[in-house]
């Protein structure tokens, strides 16, 4: 049976569960979410996996995230292990191409993936992004420049965008 390793990252906005497999990081939770939320999320893409707490297996991910949150890291150098539909994967790949400190709109991502009419589907795929900050969905804002929905909440989105403006 495959294992998902997890540990907790203490951040300014609350504790975040960080989850990884032997292949890479798979999930970063929302601030102060319960472990049950992590288990609910994992049931679909990682249904045959079990959980094991392991600070050692998750240390490299937490270390880079801590450096990012301190403003000391602009690009992550970590293996990623995500599962999604081909469309979701295309959207998440496009998000990874967004430069640090920049923003774009949902229609901008739709254009990046060659499907300019799929703006709502892009929004749904962004909402399903399991890896906060590393797959930088916080860099997507409304076409009018306003903050839009974010799985980890608007305060976390604003925090990440402000962090990247320094």
Domain architecture of the chain: domains with CATH: 2-69 (3.30.160.70), 86-165 (1.10.10.10)
Q: Which residues on adjacent β-strands are paired with residue 19?
A: 6, 27
Check pLDDT > 90 for residue 110. yes
Task: Name, in order, each residue with C-beta under 8 angstroms of 30's C-beta and a sequence gap of 6 or more.
Answer: 16, 37, 132, 151, 152, 153, 156
Residue 137 a catalytic site member: yes
Quote the pLDDT of residue 108.
96
Per-residue pLDDT tens over the stretch 22-39:
999 999 998 888 999 988
Q: Between 145 and 106, whose confidence is greater? A: 106
Quote the pLDDT of residue 11.
85
**Of 9-13, 77-81, 124-128, where does mean pLDDT reach its minimum?**
9-13
Q: How sure is the predictor about 107, in pLDDT bands with cuts at 50, 70 and 90?
A: very high
Nearest to 132, CA basis, from 2, 41, 5: 41
Find the catalytic residue in 42, 62, 135, 137: 137
Per-residue pLDDT tens over the stretch 151-160:
888 888 999 9
Q: What is the average pLDDT score of the chain?
A: 93
What is the arithmetic mean of pLDDT over 111-133? Answer: 95
Residue by residue, DSSP assigns 88-150 as HHHHHHHHHTSPTT--EEHHHHHHHTT-TT-HHHHHHHHHT--BTTTS-GGGEE-TTS-----
What is the arithmetic mean of pLDDT over 137-159? Answer: 88
Per-residue pLDDT tens over the stretch 49-89:
999 999 999 999 999 999 999 999 999 999 999 999 999 99
């Amino acid at each position: 049976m495959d294992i998902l390793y997890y540990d907790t990252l203490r951040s300014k906005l609350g504790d975040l569960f960080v989850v990884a497999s032997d292949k890479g990081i798979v999930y970063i939770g929302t601030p102060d979410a319960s472990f049950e939320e992590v288990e609910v999320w994992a049931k679909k893409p990682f249904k045959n996996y079990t959980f094991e707490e392991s600070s050692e297996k998750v240390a490299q991910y937490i270390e880079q995230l801590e450096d990012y949150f301190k403003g000391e890291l602009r690009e992550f150098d970590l293996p990623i292990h995500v599962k999604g539909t081909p469309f979701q994967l295309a959207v998440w790949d496009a998000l990874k191409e967004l430069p640090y400190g920049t923003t774009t709109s949902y229609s901008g991502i739709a254009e990046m993936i060659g499907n300019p009419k799929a703006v709502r589907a892009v929004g749904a795929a962004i909402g399903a992004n399991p890896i906060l900050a590393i797959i930088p969905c916080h860099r997507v804002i409304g076409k009018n420049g306003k903050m839009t929905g974010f799985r980890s909440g608007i305060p976390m989105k604003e925090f990440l965008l402000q962090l990247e403006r320094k």
